[in-house]
Amino acid sequence: MNKGAYYTGQYRNLFAKLGIDSEAVDKKVTDTWNRLFSNNYPETQIYFETDDEMGYLVDTGNNDVRTEGQSYGMMMAVQMDRQDIFDRIWKWVKTYMYMEEGLHEGYFAWSCQLDGTKNAYGPAPDGEEYFALALYFASNRWGDREAPFDYSQQATALLSDCIHKGENNDGYPMWDPETKLIKFVPEVDFTDPSYHLPHFYALFSEWADEVDRPFWKEATNASRHYIRVAAHEKTGLSPEYAFYDGSPNHIRGFGDFFSDSYRVACNIGLDYEWFGEPETPVEVNEKIQRFFEGVPPEDYRRYKINGEPFGEKALHPIGLLASLAMGSLATDGELSNHYVLKFWDTPLRQGERRYYDNCLYFFSLLSLSGKFRIWK
C-alpha cells in the first residue's frame, strides 16, 4: 500500500523526529522566509518589490532575474500562504518574461535584467514546470480570479504548449515526444537530470488538459526511471547535462556533478515523501549520502560522476548540504539523520552567491519540516 502524503495527508517533520522542538522548527521556517523575502536582512535577502505591485527574486551571483528563481519564489509563496507575494512575482513574470510571438511564443524568457529587459529570448524548462505546479497549487489554495490570476487556466495553457509546440512547425516542445523526457532547452535533444520532477508530473496527470493526462502519466514513469539510469551506479552522482540514455553530455563542461546536479537528491526525496512509490529511485540518495560521508561542506567540489574530484571547489556548498539533507526524505538510518541535523545547525548563506544556496536551503527546510505540501 502506498504511504506517501498524497494518499495519507500526513507530512513528516524529520526535525521533530530527531528531538527538535516543533515550535523551534516553526520559528525557523518563519525566520528563514523573512530573511529571504524582507528588506530587514540585506545580507540574505533575494526577493525585492517594485512600486507597481510586482516583485522578483535576484540571482545574486549573476545579477539577473531567472525563471528558475521566479518559479521557486512562487512555489515558496504558495507554501507559506502569501498570495500577495505570489501575485507580485507572477505579474512580473507575465509582464517581462512572457514571450508573445516568435519561435518561443507561450514560453518565458529564462533571464532578464532587473528592470525587466530580456537578456535572452529562449526558455529554460525547469522554470515552466515549477510555474505550472505553483499555479495549480495557487488555484487550489486560493481560487482563480481574473487573468492573469486565473491560475489553473494559466497552468493548463502553459503545459499544453510545453508538449504540443512543434506539431504545427511552430517551435519546439519542452518534452521529447518519443521518450517523454524533459529537454534542457526546447531546441536540443538532451536533458538535465535535475529537471526531472516525476512528483510534479503525477499531479499534472490529474489537473492538466484531459487530452494531455496520459502523456503526463507516461512522463512520470519515464522520469523516475531516467533519474535512476542517469546516476552513477556506485556513487549515485548525476551529471548536469545528460543524453536520453543517461550518459553524461560534456558539452561546455556540464557532464560532471556540479551545481544543477544537487537538485536530483531533492527531487527524489520530495517524490518519495509525496507519493512513496516503489519506482522512486531511493537508492540513488542512499549512494549520494554515502559518497559524501565524512566530507565537510568546505571541501565539497566538482566531481566526475564516478567520484573523481576536481581541484575546483563547489560553488554552492550550502546548497549541496541542503540537498543531502532533503534527500533524507527517501532514506533512513544514522547517516540520513546526520545530514538533517548538520543542515539544521547551518545558517543561510550570505554574500553574492547566496541565491541558489538559499533557494535550496528553504526548500529543504520546508520539506524536512513537513511544510512542502500538495494543495489539492
Distance CA 199, CA 158 (A): 18
Catalytic residue among 68, 128, 129, 192: 68
Question: Which residues, 6 or more positions from 142, have their beta carbon under 8 angstroms from its beta carbon?
Answer: 83, 151
Beta carbons within 10 angstroms of residue 356's beta carbon: 26
**What residue type is assigned to position 225 of the chain?**
H
Active site residue 161: no
Question: Which residues, 6 or more positions from 28, have their beta carbon under 8 angstroms from its beta carbon?
Answer: 344, 365, 369
Residue 291's pLDDT is 98
Strands (DSSP E) contained in 242-372 are 301-303, 309-313
Residue 169's pLDDT is 86
Distance CA 376, CA 59 (A): 31
Three-state DSSP class for 112? strand
**What residue type is assigned to position 140 of the chain?**
N
Integer-rounded Cα radius of gyration of the chain? 19
From first to last of its 376 residues, the chain has per-residue pLDDT tens of 468 999 999 999 999 999 999 999 999 999 999 999 999 999 999 999 999 999 999 999 999 999 999 999 999 999 999 999 999 999 999 999 999 999 999 999 999 999 999 999 999 999 999 999 999 999 999 999 999 999 999 999 999 999 999 998 889 999 999 999 999 999 999 999 999 999 999 999 999 999 999 999 999 999 999 999 999 999 999 999 999 999 999 998 899 999 999 999 999 999 999 999 999 999 999 999 999 999 999 999 999 999 999 999 999 999 999 999 999 999 999 999 999 999 999 999 999 999 999 999 999 999 999 999 999 9
Alpha helices in the chain (DSSP H): 5-8, 14-17, 22-37, 67-79, 83-92, 125-142, 151-164, 198-207, 213-230, 263-275, 282-291, 317-326, 334-344, 354-368
All cell numbers assigned to 39: 528588506
Check if the beta carbon of residue 172 is closer than 8 Å to that of residue 242.
no
Active site residue 260: yes
Helix, strand, coil proportions of the chain in percent (round to 5)? 50, 10, 40
Could you tell me the domains of the chain?
A: 46-174 (1.50.10.10), 176-376 (1.50.10.10)
Distance CA 149, CA 145 (A): 5
Beta carbons within 10 angstroms of residue 16's beta carbon: 16
Quote the DSSP letter at residue 248. B
Beta carbons within 10 angstroms of residue 327's beta carbon: 30
Catalytic residue among 128, 192, 260, 277: 260
Check if the beta carbon of residue 78 is closer than 8 Å to that of residue 86.
yes
Beta bridge partners of 257: 303
Angle of helix 263-275 relative to helix 213-230, nearest 10 degrees, comes to 130
Distance CA 7, CA 345 (A): 32
Check if the beta carbon of residue 329 is closer than 8 Å to that of residue 14.
yes
All cell numbers assigned to 269: 526525496
Three-state DSSP class for 55? strand
Residue 2's pLDDT is 64
Run of H or E including 341: helix 334-344
Q: Is 226 exposed, middle or buried (0-12, 13-18, 19+ CB in 10 A)?
A: buried
Quote the DSSP letter at residue 95. I
Q: Is 222 exposed, middle or buried (0-12, 13-18, 19+ CB in 10 A)?
A: buried
Residue 46: name the closest of 75, 55, 86 by CA. 55
Residue 309's pLDDT is 98
